[in-house]
Structure 1
């Protein structure tokens, strides 16, 4: 792709690429757009470096990949500018009430490995993220490829989980982390907004997604979100829970060697494939402010459904984390 400076995200790995210096004008070029989409389909993640750090560029870049999906809840903060649909504003002020302890340190904004909207039958295509206020330490966003995770599982665990479906429900109570919680994990203080989220979701049916699915390329993807998982469909037994916990712990263990953790700069933007990639947040010292902005790309892989055949009318308002 002669027009762009493209290089691997990680040397000697096929997961992800970096593109440097993309301009607003280039986002309008059909050939450039097609080339970027081909890279995204193949590699699952793109880090755009040295781009214009503006909402206009954020939206233009997002539109390269498809139409934006606006957030259905008007309570979620947005960038208040005309022509900027779907840009949500995630601000963590110093010393928030929600905090956890992990690895012997107290942090805020930590999130475990997950894919977005697991609690809904439809999965958005992707997310495009950028950082505005960056803590001097921590605050990293991690990504791990489900294709690589599948290959890294032991053969017996692959055989045990393949063909199984996982049940998910909206659950933002950090003291209620069912599967694969890291050693030493403790919730020190819940986010005060969590109770309202749980109340709004209490009557929503659980969503179901396959633990492993096959891409058009023929590659198998391990696509299990330890966060918000409730069990294995048709096997909510001690044995089924033990299997899901084994898989979740294997994800955390394999991610130690396979994950990419992005250290943010204001001129970075990145996109990841929500049908293939899990992501996480490292957390940061509560004394620092962190502000991120994000868009969501519409789409669905067509493999999820609500338990019991519930219709789309039962889905809850989607919330971005």
Structure 2
């Protein structure tokens, strides 16, 4: 059976769209193999006109590998019958508000990759939208292969072989590497400090700023959010270099990124080893509800600082 495959954006190699995938097709071995090959090549797939159900969400996620259960019991689950599906909801009138260039917004998130603060990186995430604001609320994706090629040659040379230190940090006032102009925190998320307290003794994680895929492409894989500095170079000079890289990520992503405007019949997967993602934010008067699964896996390049191995106290936050 032939899949309805189209470019994510005309004229670009990054990303793909698949239209009308059915629940039955998610069980077909040949189709599963075709979708996985497309995912490996493209980095992001938007599935359009699919059945808007939790069953379809789980079945589609299973195409790419086993689900990773969220380790924090405090993160809302959708249903005990659907392990691994988490609920991410914004209700008007609650906190966690920011101002970006004078625009008041809810649920804005900077460019990042998931689990940067862990030694293992999950393979992918699969998103679906339940409650969609009339404007904004988009999820953005930027290809690390394209970002590497777009990065200034001097910066590419300067970060070759460097590793970045990350720590769980959901206090948005602490976000500084590459913060956009006019960024200000109006109110922190009410759960943020509890997450910080629970992760206080977790060692910092370390990941390469650039890594090379088995297919040969180099990937710029720096997460501005939760970055703390370069391993072995937490100096003013090292911090200035990291700031320059993160600032370019925000600048280049304006032209290279794809921001998805959600429909209830959409589902989307992105490669967490290759792709950075962000959330545009939306007017706080409107609600927004997303559900996400996490696909197990690890690229094998991350580790904890000073050889630490204890990960028992890592607490992850759902965004």
1:105 to 2:103 alignment: yes
Q: Residue 226 in 1 paired to residue 224 in 2?
A: yes
Partner residue of 2:22?
Answer: 23
Cross-structure match for 1:184: 182
Do 2:202 and 2:311's aligned partners in 1 also have CA atoms closer than 8 Å? no
Equivalent residue of 1:175, what SS?
helix
Q: 1:255: which partner in 2?
A: 253
Tell me, in whole angstroms, the C-alpha distance in 2 between the residues paired with 1:24 and 1:103: 43
**Runs of at least 4 residues of structure 1 off by over 4 A?**
none
CA drift of 1:313 comes to 3.5
Unaligned runs of 5+ in 1: none
Deviations 1:259-282 (A, max 9, x none): 000000000000000000000000
Could you tell me how far 1:305 is from its partner in structure 2? 0.2
Q: Give the Cα–Cα distance (whole angstroms) in 1 for the partners of residues 237 and 178 of structure 2.
A: 15
Q: Distance in 2 between matches of 1:313 and 1:223?
A: 22
Contact 2:88 2:318 in 1 (8 A): no
- Report the Cα offset of residue 233 of structure 1: 0.3
The aligned residue for residue 68 of structure 1 is 67
- What's the CA shift for 1:312? 4.0
| Inter-partner Cα distance in structure 2 for 1:260 and 1:178 | 23
Note the C-alpha offset of 1:81.
4.7
1:58 partner SS: helix
Report the equivalent of 2:194: 196
Q: Which residue of 2 aligns with 1:245?
A: 243
Deviation at 1:162, TM superposition (A): 1.4
Is the CA contact 1:178–1:230 (under 8 Å) kept in the aligned structure 2? no
Cα displacement (A) at 1:3 = 1.8
Describe the shift of the 1:312–1:35 C-alpha distance in structure 2 as closer, same or farther (beyond 3 A): farther
Contact 1:168 1:230 in 2 (8 A): yes
Report if aligned partners of 1:120, 1:315 keep a CA contact under 8 Å in 2.
no
Q: TM-score, normalised by structure 1?
A: 0.98
Q: TM-score, normalised by structure 2?
A: 0.99
Structure 2 residue 120 is matched with structure 1 residue 122: yes
Q: How far apart are the structure 2 equivalents of 1:271 and 1:151? A: 23
What is the number of residues matched between the two proteins?
A: 319
The whole-number CA distance in structure 2 between the counterparts of 1:42 and 1:315 is 35
Is 2:54 the counterpart of 1:55? yes
Unaligned runs of 5+ in 2: none
Find the aligned partners of 2:312 and 2:244 in 1 and give their Cα distance: 31
**C-alpha distance after superposition, 1:56-102 (max 9, x if no partner):** 000000000000001111211111252x1100011100121110100
Determine the C-alpha separation between the residues in 2 that align with 1:284 and 1:179.
23
